[in-house]
Structure formats: C-alpha cells, structure tokens
Amino acid sequence: MYEKELKAIKKANRFRNREIFSESLLDFASNDYLGLSENRMLLKRAYEKVSSYKYHSPKASMLVNGYHPIHNEFESYISKLCGFEESLVVGSGYLANIALIESLVRKDDILVLDSEFHASGIMASKLTKGKVSYFKHNNPFELDNLLKTLKYKRAIVCVEGVYSMEGDLVKPKIFEVVDRYKALLIVDEAHSSGTVGKNFLGVFDFYDIKPQKNHIKMATLGKAMGSYGAYIQGSSEIIEYLLNRAKSIIYTTAPSVFDIALAYEGYKYIQENKKSFLEKRDEIFRLVEKSFVSRQESLILKIEYGDNQKVLDLKELALREGFLIGAIRPPTVKKAIVRIILRLNSDMENFRKLFSLF
C-alpha cells in the first residue's frame, strides 16, 4: 500500500532503519551525556523507591487518579531546584512541546519559532489557530523586528537551550527581546538540562537568569537524566492552564512512575556530584580546544566537513576503531557534519584516540 512512498524515500537516499549496536562500542553518539543510563546504583535506588508504594504504575491519566506521590515529590523538588513556581511531569518531550504550543497559541496570537526548533514544535505549529512565524536561527535582531512589526494579542516565542545539531547555546539577548515585548518564552532544554550551567540545570542556570512569569521551560528526562519522560516548568497560572487545556497532557496516561523515580535519583546524583562533573567537563573542553582550536559551549561537538561521503567514511573509520559517532547530513543540517557527544563518563584516553581520527 505504501510501496510508492517507500520507493521515493529510498530514491532520495533518506531511507532509515533501526539498528542494535554492539555493547562493546564506545558510545559517542547517544544523548546519555553523563553516562547515567549505565549507573546501576540509580536503577536500584529508583526500584526501591517505587517498591515502597502500593502502585508502581500510573494506571490512569493525571486528572483521573494517575497522579502518583512520586510525580508530586519530583515536581516539588525540581521547582525548588530550578526556581520556577511550579512543574508538571509529561510523558515525553514531544508530547510536552505539542501540549505547550497547541494549548497556549490561541486565535489572534502569534507563534514565533527559531528556524532550527525541534520537529515537535513544527508539528505542533500545524495544530494552532494562531499565526506562525520563524526567525533566523539564534538571531535576536530578527526576532525583535518580527515582534515589533507583527500584529498579535499574545506572542509565544520558542527556542532551544542548546541546539541539538549545532551544539550552540541560545543567545542571552533573546531573553531580553522577549521580556521587552512581554512575550511568552518557551525554552526547550532537551539538550541543555543536565549538561550546561554550574549546577547542570540548563541555560537559566548558565546565564544566571531568574525565571520570570513569562518564562516556560521544557526539559526531557531521556537524555542527560538517563531515564524517559519530560517536565514543564512555569508560573502557577501556566501550569494550571496546561492541566485544563493541553490535550496531550489530559487525554493520556500519566508518565511512567518508575521513569520519573529514576530521573529524580539522577537529579539528586548530579547535585551531589556536580563538582567532579564540572571538573571533567572543563578537562574535556580544554582537550577540544587543543585538538580542534575551537571553543566548546555544550557537550555536542560539531565538526563541519560539508561533504556527505566524507562524514560517512569518517563514521566507518571510527566504527572500525570501536567508536560510535554521528554522521549528520542534509536536510537534517545544512552542511554535512560529524557529531560527537562528549559524554562525561568517557575516559580522557578515549577522547584523545577518537579526536586523533579527525
């Protein structure tokens, strides 16, 4: 039934498949930035925590009786830690972005997205009744111009804390522009939460920005936190509104209790060990600077080649040497890149060996 479509995908060289990689490969490709997905102690702690309750699964939507004490405890912990009024656990980052955009952007409002915003935001933009506009990647001047010239009741701006392919951080000037126009700002911290800032809490922490009523943060738990799921943070009004209007929060089973417990243990572990994580991050950044003469802002290292075959060859070469890395090509990125995740649990010697291949 879909033969033609599949043929077209193959013809365009865009056919993809899942693969199970050998556990013996050194992983420099996944989003497990801190190596928490290998940490057995966190697994055990989460298991013990969940086991102390009668129910280990949510059983229903949060608004029926799927809201578990572990969800609630984690939300309170994370609100205090990040300085937001309230937090709300969500099944995944994809669902969270759909929830935010679909419910917050009403008729007469405008949604303004960074041109490199995640696919979930693009998908959600098709569900709103508001107008949709894009600004040039990480360009506060263009954003300023749009907010100045367009007509709207409310403006909702979407950016990422760290952009997943380029590895660059959202510019602090974007916060200034948004605040000046009293727009709502949604910061997707999928790749910045757990990786940047002196407390590993993301870009608010990195720039020392105290969350305001117009700031909304979305963070995922399936990357640096070594679990699965997501949460949204904002003012009590925004969280209350989402609970009453966001379909992908209301009409879905509450997030997995175990995954939230695991992420909760992950957060506590990072806070307990942030000094050694910081030292390792600095050491890796120094090595990147020495090896590639480039300053590193995040744990995503991008090496641009602009040649599709070259990046595929490099990926193969790395694989033969036992390293798993990313070879990202257009249309995902404008020019072909090698993408290396600087996972903090990797040995410095392995970083040296890997970097010597480029």
The site for ligand PLP (CB under 6 A) is made up of 92-94, 97, 118, 120, 160, 164, 188, 190-191, 220, 222, 230
Of 140 and 255, which CB lies nearer to ligand PLP in the complex structure?
255
Of 144 and 192, which CB lies nearer to ligand PLP in the complex structure?
192
Q: Minimum CB separation from ligand PLP for residue 107, in Å?
A: 26
Q: Minimum CB separation from ligand PLP for residue 164, in Å?
A: 4
Residues in CB range of 316: below 8 A, 6 or more apart = none
Q: Minimum CB separation from ligand PLP for residue 89, in Å?
A: 12
CB 257 within 8 A of CB 50: yes
Beta strands 131-135 and 110-114 are parallel
Residue nearest to ligand PLP (CB): 93
Q: Minimum CB separation from ligand PLP for residue 252, in Å?
A: 13
Of 68 and 223, which CB lies nearer to ligand PLP in the complex structure?
223
Of 99 and 351, which CB lies nearer to ligand PLP in the complex structure?
99
Of 248 and 296, which CB lies nearer to ligand PLP in the complex structure?
248
Beta strands 337-341 and 326-328 are antiparallel
The half-sphere exposure of 331 on its side-chain side, counting CA atoms within 13 A, is 6
To 5 degrees, how large is the angle CA 354–CA 30–CA 38? 95
Of 147 and 187, which CB lies nearer to ligand PLP in the complex structure?
187
The half-sphere exposure of 274 on its side-chain side, counting CA atoms within 13 A, is 13
Q: Minimum CB separation from ligand PLP for residue 111, in Å?
A: 16
Residue the block writes with tokens 């910061």: 187
* Residue closest to 193 by CA, chosen among 331, 303, 104, 96: 96
Residues in the chain: 358
Helix (H, G, I), strand (E, B) or coil at 140: helix
